[in-house]
Amino acid sequence: MVVTLQHGHQATMEQIPSAYETALRQYDRAVSRMDIDDNAVEYLRWPQREFSVNFPVRRDNGSIEMFSGYRVHHSTVRGPTKGGIRYSLNVTLDEVRALAMWMTWKCALVNLPYGGAKGGVLVDPKTLSLGEKERLTRRYAAELIPVIGPQKDIPAPDMGTGPQEMAWIMDTYSMTVGYSVPAIVTGKPLNIGGSEGRNEATGRGVIICMMEALKRQGVHNNAGIKVAVQGFGNVGSHAAEYAWENDFRVVAVSDIDGGLYNADGLDIPAVRAYMKANRTLKGFQGADFITNDELITSQCDVLIPAAMEGQLTERNAPHIKAKLVVEGANGPTTTDADDILNEMGVTIVPDILANAGGVTVSYFEWVQGLNSFFWDEAEVVRQLSNIMVKAYGEVAHMVEEQRVDMRTAAQMVAIKRVADALTIRGIYP
């Protein structure tokens, strides 16, 4: 499956592979460099379980509308599955398959006892009232009851969802089983068992990886580094603010409508406050308004794609000026763009490493919920930093040992852990 896009008024057409095609190409590239049993290689190519649902939601005007949703479990070899739920009109089963596979590698890379899962509902959440969103979330959660559970599959927020949706899912599951089960989801509000530092975790992890990459490149002056962030949702906005707090010069940010650029640096707290008040970056004073394409190729040292998959392609990759790409989103770079950027000498910190902060703190939240014992934010940040830096070091070691790019190295580390677990467990029956 390919999506064909027309870029501007050019006559040429660009074919962008689906997220699942990209995930499989990355997987094949990694395992081709590894000594793994062919049976394990074939086994891990396939999702273990795919769940599709069609369900009714009552609109505020009394009418009934049908919605479609998915939940995919890629692997349970290393433990229960873990992964977010997104609300988007772009949700497809192929996309959810890819995201579930990437979650398996991400959890294995940071050595969490999880396999990968992902879910989604085909809906634009901006078109729903609060009541409609609650009814949709609760009905979708009810449809998932057979496949989710604190020891089976633990959902979390993703694009278009947040703490409130997780609270509704927790309550729906708890009402079904007859007692409160905080560990059924992560990313919950603090007052019902959420973890300190969870909302900021993915963005914070992105910047931890960025700083580790820069340190290994011999960079010590943060103020001299220009950072551009594509996407200003939960991941991108927190990444931009954490970079700003660490004295980096954040020169560009963008949302779905376009972005802002100021070569002298943006006041990120002011941008976040404007975004919260206006739900758009348009109209913010003190910066030039640019397109998302212009942000990707803007004058910067570090590019953080934190929006959607398939943003860096063979079309725009040759024009990227950043020498370091840190992937805040899942699958933002196609394999063709990977090849171009690697040839250009650009370092790419891959998604399964760079944005693993979210699932890492989700793991902390799950552990805290199971034990009813909670940590303060300083402990969460300390543990997160330790895990991210250790995983970065393991990937860097694989890069040097195997002479491969960082994405292939990260997948090799992760796939080996899953394959080893599969080998020692064996095949049932």
Residues annotated as catalytic are 118
Of the candidates 324, 332, 326, the one whose C-alpha atom is nearest the C-alpha of residue 292 is 332
**330 touches 355 (CB < 8 A):** yes
8-state DSSP, 281:
S
Separation CA 268–CA 252 (nearest Å): 10
Residue labelled with tokens 């000498």: 345
Distances (CA, A) of 365 to 107, 165, 317: 15, 16, 37
Separation CA 17–CA 2 (nearest Å): 5
φ, ψ of residue 83 to 5 degrees: the values are 170, 160
- In DSSP terms, 324 is beta-bridged to 302, 347
Separation CA 280–CA 156 (nearest Å): 25
Distances (CA, A) of 317 to 62, 298, 320, 342: 49, 12, 5, 10
Distances (CA, A) of 393 to 230, 237, 295: 26, 26, 30
- In DSSP terms, 157 is beta-bridged to 85
256's tokens: 């779905």
Separation CA 15–CA 114 (nearest Å): 34
Structural element, H or E, at residue 348? strand 347-349
Structural element, H or E, at residue 227? strand 226-230
Separation CA 165–CA 422 (nearest Å): 34
Q: What is the 3-state secondary structure (H, E, C) of 248-261?
A: CEEEEEEECCEEEE
